[in-house]
Structure 1
Amino acid sequence: MKSRFSGRAKKEITLWSGLGQLSTTLLGTGLFMIPAIAAGIAGEASLWAWLILFVAVIPIALTFAALGKRYPSAGGTAYFVRKAFGQRMERSVGWLFLSVTPVGIPAGVALAGSFGKQLLPTPLDNTLLAELITIGLLVMVNLMGSKSSARIQTVIALAICALVSLFWVYGDVSTADIKMPVLTSDSILPIASALGVMFWCFVGIEAFAHMGEEFKKPETDFPIAIILGCLFAGAIYWSCSVVILKFHAYGTEELAAGSIPWISEQIFGSKGAILISLIGYFACFASLNLYIQSLSRMAFAIAKNSHPNAKMAVISKRGVPAYATLTISAILVICSFIGEVLGIDLEALVKLANGVFVLVYLLAMLSAYKLLTGMNKVLSLTALVITMLVFACLGWASLYAIAVLFSVHFLRNGSKLLLVASKK
């Protein structure tokens, strides 16, 4: 795979194209499940949770922007951590990122399955079957070496924006529906719990941060694109939450994954629900395809560095890490069956995945505090404190990420020390 940073990057990104790319990345699958899940946790107080999250994410985004401009690398957060804390910690972050495979990606597959189920004929409209079909299509697309079109994703993002606007117009949303509820002491814990889930919506900022040198005017347009992109995506999420609260489209496992199609059917009838299912399915598929590509290449990179002769470190004739792709896909199939048998809901999967993402962000902010200077150092400290608070909001879900990091960093390196000692 050709690296974006091999040679001199072309300065082709404008303010508006950068804004469109970041907005598309942030909207992703989140709009189709997170507002309903957040409403199920905090009710009307989730509107306050969204505002808190918008304010909190700006320092994090700007810190990533500063890191991306000073240390441009396709290695992402793992590279920042390496610059700050060494190669051993870099490997640990790589494994930590891979640990999202059995929890975060199945959540996206489950959401795609809920949409795909609506598109299957009546005898076959089974969620598990729709999930397996989705995984099969992902394998085919990835093994062929296809890449998701940025233009198609932008069209999907615009379709989502148009959809939310239509909900407001034809759903008869009034000023009474957007009145912020009164905050009480009883709403603090639900808001904190909702924040632990809602962070999913702003995963992807770290990837965009590495595009700074590709802007025509990086010093001005790059940070503006990050701020406006976050605010634009946040406004869409908040607007969608208002509609979900108005129609009471939350509170059950079915609505957590299907609130948007359900609302569409209430407003536009069954034909509208089918159209929304198509938009939702392709939006989920595009996001999942990018994640599978990213994870398979991360697995390939780790295998190449540690076991260069292993099958996992082999690239196919099409330039694809085929064995890594098949391995990750096999894990998804197993997780889909486990989720069906145990009845694991989306909220639990999203929280576990967020534990990984927030810990990765936390390590990035810690690296930024060590690497950056001046006002950027102060900004990174603010972002570090915010990230720590979000991590605390995850509660029990943070234990998964902590256990993974401990296992791959301390236990793995501890076993090496024991091996060396035994040889002596």
Structure 2
Amino acid sequence: MKLSVAQGTALSVGAVLGTGVISMPALAAEAAGPASLVAWLALILLSAPLAWTFAVLGARHPDSGGVSTYVRLAFGPSAAAAVGWCFYFAVPLGAPAAAAFAGGYVADVVGGGDTTVLITFLFVVGLVYVMNWFGLRISGRVQLVLTGVLAVLLLITVVTALPHARIGNLTPFAPHGWAGIGVAAAVLVWGFAGWEAVSSLSPDYRNPRRDVPRATAVAVVVVGGLYLAVAVTSVLVLGPALGDSRAPLADLLAVGVGGPVRAITAVVAVLLTIGAVNAYLAGASRLGTALARDGALPARVFGTQRRSLTFVLFASLGSVLLPFPLHTSMLLVTGCFTLVYVLGTAAALRLLPRGASRAWAAVAFVAVIGLLVLTGPPALLSLVVAAGAIGYQAWRARRSAKIASPSSISDGSVAPNPNTKPACEVA
């Protein structure tokens, strides 16, 4: 069944409007105070050229490989492997952060602080691992329902809480200086990751050249409107308390509606997180297998979906032990996402013909380069991951060449049959 514009719009909104919105207003306010609204606006404006670039690429080159396909067409397999590695190794870092958002809402209801957050993470990741091990899937329709529930929750939150807004909460506007806006923007990349999924969906549209740009344009407006409405309402209603909130949506609903809203938002947060983590772990298990198939990862470790899934699980558990606060973990993940955007928009500059679309791609390329710089030292992880992918490809190529090279026959050895594949290729 092919996608209509309405269905494509819903899937695109679902890909971008993820779990981050339940906690990002607080994280951005912690970094920049009310000035975080500038970062929100900047990211929303950036979404337009970035989403449009991937939509045009998807319309011109409809392929489920998405960004990886475009980078391979533009720069070759090594760069495509770098894109795959950045996605794959960002998932174990992102899973604990995503679960921490839901854990904050659960702790807000039952108490327990960080211990409750950790238990929530173990529950979510363990459940999703078991589901994927046995081949159980949360259907696309359920994912869309969860996204729809989130969108309705956001609308109710804004409508009921906005009458309690106070302009005085905008001062002091930049308590951490103007540099805090850049830090907030780097954190907010988390909430806008997903536009690349638009291009991956392009083969499923009835008419990719016509429908992908239309669906993307509507999705940009919907996502941008919801994000900005929630951010503005959070700052104006909660004021200085926003930066210290574990559950900003629950706090807003408590102000606007009252009653047992905290328990309701905690349940919604956990369900959303299960859906999001399921999507990422299921996708990562397939990505790891595909990378192993293409020689970008060792097949002995990543050659099957269960092996790849198990690696992601243990890497996720290990990342919880890293001595990083949530803020830093998010920057590490968004640094990887941003580098993928850098490579994707760079590929667009090579693949798209001269014209308006290429100009938009140039704007997006410059903007994501700026975001990568704003991420600061955590962005170095993305560069290390990309370098690791390229280094592994080079090492494997040298190893294959060495095995395939004919042995010297001066010592009486027999030269290999040129029609026989090297052992590494057979494996």
Tell me if TM exceeds 0.5. Answer: yes
Aligned to 1:5: none
Which segments of 5 or more consecutive residues in structure 1 lack a partner in the other structure?
A: 1-9, 315-320
Q: How many percent identity over aligned positions?
A: 24
Contact 1:156/1:283, CA 8 A, preserved across alignment: yes
Closer, same or farther: CA 299–184 of 1 in aligned 2, 3 Å: closer
Q: Give the CA deviation at 1:230.
A: 1.7
Asked if the contact 1:101–1:331 (Cα under 8 Å) also holds between the matched residues in 2, the reply is no
Q: Could you tell me how far apart the structure 1 residues matched to 2:275 and 2:292 are? A: 26
In the superposition, the TM-score normalised over structure 1's length comes to 0.85
2:422 aligned partner: none
Deviates more, 1:184-193 or 1:157-166: 184-193
SS at match of 1:250: helix
Aligned to 2:302: 312
Alignment-mate amino acid for residue 288 of structure 1: V
Residue among 339, 358, 366 paired with 1:377: 358
Does residue 105 of the first structure (1) align with residue 95 of the second (2)? yes
Q: Does 1:48 align with 2:38?
A: yes
Q: 2:312 aligns with which of 319, 325, 328?
A: 328
- Whichever residue aligns with residue 379 of structure 1, its letter is W
User: Who is 2:242 aligned against?
Assistant: 250
Provide the C-alpha distance between the structure 1 equivalents of 2:204 and 2:4, rounded to a whole number of angstroms. 9
**Change in CA separation of 1:372 and 1:251 when aligned onto 2, cut-off 3 Å:** same
Deviations 1:41-97 (A, max 9, x none): 111112222222111121111110111122222222121111111122222222222
Residue 300 of structure 1: how far off its partner (Å): 1.1
Matched-pair contact (CA < 8 Å) for 2:14–2:144: yes
Q: Which of 387, 390, 398 is 2:379 aligned to?
A: 398
* Aligned position for 2:339: 359
CA shift at 1:146, angstroms? 2.3
Instruction: Give the CA deviation at 1:119.
Output: 7.2
Q: How far apart are 1:222 and its partner, in Å? A: 2.1
3-state SS of paired residue (1:237)? helix
User: More displaced, 80-89 or 168-177?
Assistant: 168-177
Q: TM-score, normalised by structure 2?
A: 0.84
Taking the aligned partners of 1:303 and 1:273, their CA distance within structure 2 comes to 44
Cα 1:123–1:230 shift into 2, 3 Å: closer
Task: State the secondary structure of the residue aligned to 1:104.
Answer: helix
Q: Which residue of structure 2 lines up, in the alignment, with residue 368 of structure 1?
A: 348
1:280 match: 269
State the Cα distance separating 1:123 from its structure 2 match: 12
Per-residue Cα deviation, 1:340-362 (whole angstroms, up to 9, x for no partner): xx3x3221111110100000010
For the pair shown, which has the larger CA radius of gyration, 1 or 2?
2
1:291 aligns with 2:280: yes
User: How far 1:185 moved relative to its partner?
Assistant: 12
Residues in 2 aligned to 1:209 and 1:418: alpha-carbon distance in whole angstroms? 35
SS in 2 for 1:72: coil
Note if 1:191 corresponds to 2:150: no
Aligned pair count? 401
How large is the Cα RMSD of the aligned pairs?
Answer: 3.1
Deviations 1:201-221 (A, max 9, x none): 121111122323433344443
Residue equivalent to 2:212: 222
Unaligned runs of 5+ in 2: 408-427
User: Which of 394, 400, 409 lines up with 1:413 in the alignment?
Assistant: 394
Of stretches 50-59 and 109-118 in structure 1, the one that deviates more from structure 2 is 109-118
For residue 290 of structure 2, the aligned residue among 297, 301, 305 is 301
Partner residue, 1:25? 15
Question: How far, CA to CA, are the matches of 1:370 and 1:21 in structure 2?
Answer: 28
Question: Within 1, Cα distance between the matches of 2:52 and 2:95?
Answer: 27
1:260 corresponding residue in structure 2: 249
Indicate if the aligned counterparts of 1:178 and 1:242 stay in contact, CA closer than 8 A: no
| CA pair 48-390 structure 1, distance change in 2 beyond 3 A | same
SS of 1:102's equivalent in the other structure is helix
